[in-house]
Amino acid sequence: MPKRFIQRISPDPETLRQHKHLKCFGTLLHNPNLWHLNRRSVSGAFAVGLFCAFIPVPFQMVIAAAVAIFFSVNLPLAVLMVWVSNPFTIPPLFYGCYLLGAWLLQTPPQPFNFELSFQWLSDSLFHIWQPFLFGCLIAGTVASLTGYFGMRVAWRMVMVKKWLHRKHRNGINLSKK
């Protein structure tokens, strides 16, 4: 992956340390491994962030930060990847998770009309919680694995390309005699 691009879009570590929701982690944020950009930390951050994006709770970024700290992967990228599920994408993502869960559990999907009210949430969630949460778990796991292995492959491809370019630029013959 282009390391400079990731460094450019990542927030400053000091800014994240001072963030009001991340202050609860205290000195854990001083671990230098949370800020390194290498193949292991970036692919792990993608896995953590994408999995947490499918957790249907508020404050997904705090959960992603806690998991990133636990696994010692790149914290800014893990938090950034949670934004795959943003206010515009949450309805189709979670509806897709519900349909996936209903299909996997072989239950017919329940028709419903969404209303932004506590009453609707408490009534409807009672009927759809099993396929919804199962679909979120499966979708989060698939997205996490895809992000992890996809980033490892992409990072490796970029590094091989750089290595070959450097060898070609320096005039080193790669063929065996």
- Is residue 73 one of the residues assigned to a domain? yes
- Is residue 55 one of the residues assigned to a domain? yes
Q: What's residue 146's pLDDT?
A: 96
- Is residue 42 one of the residues assigned to a domain? yes
Q: Which residues of the chain have pLDDT under 50?
A: 1
Per-residue buried b or exposed e for 116-136, using 16+ beta carbons within 10 Å of the residue's own CB: eeeeeeeebeeebeebbbbbb
- Is residue 102 one of the residues assigned to a domain? no
Q: What's residue 11's pLDDT?
A: 64
- Is residue 115 one of the residues assigned to a domain? no
- Is residue 61 one of the residues assigned to a domain? yes
- Is residue 103 one of the residues assigned to a domain? no
Q: How many Cβ atoms sit within 10 Å of the Cβ of residue 40?
A: 16
Provide the domain limits for residue 74: 3-91+143-169
Q: What's residue 116's pLDDT?
A: 57
Q: What's residue 138's pLDDT?
A: 96
* Residues sharing a CB contact under 8 Å with residue 21, sequence separation 6 or more, in sequence order: 59, 61, 62
Q: What's residue 151's pLDDT?
A: 92
For the whole model, what pTM was predicted? 0.77
Q: Are 144 and 47 in contact (CB under 8 A)?
A: yes
Q: Return the closest-CA partner of residue 61 out of 79, 44, 46.
A: 79
Tally the domains of the chain: 1
Q: Assign residue 145 a region (left: φ > 0; alpha: ψ between -120 and 50; beta: otherwise).
A: alpha
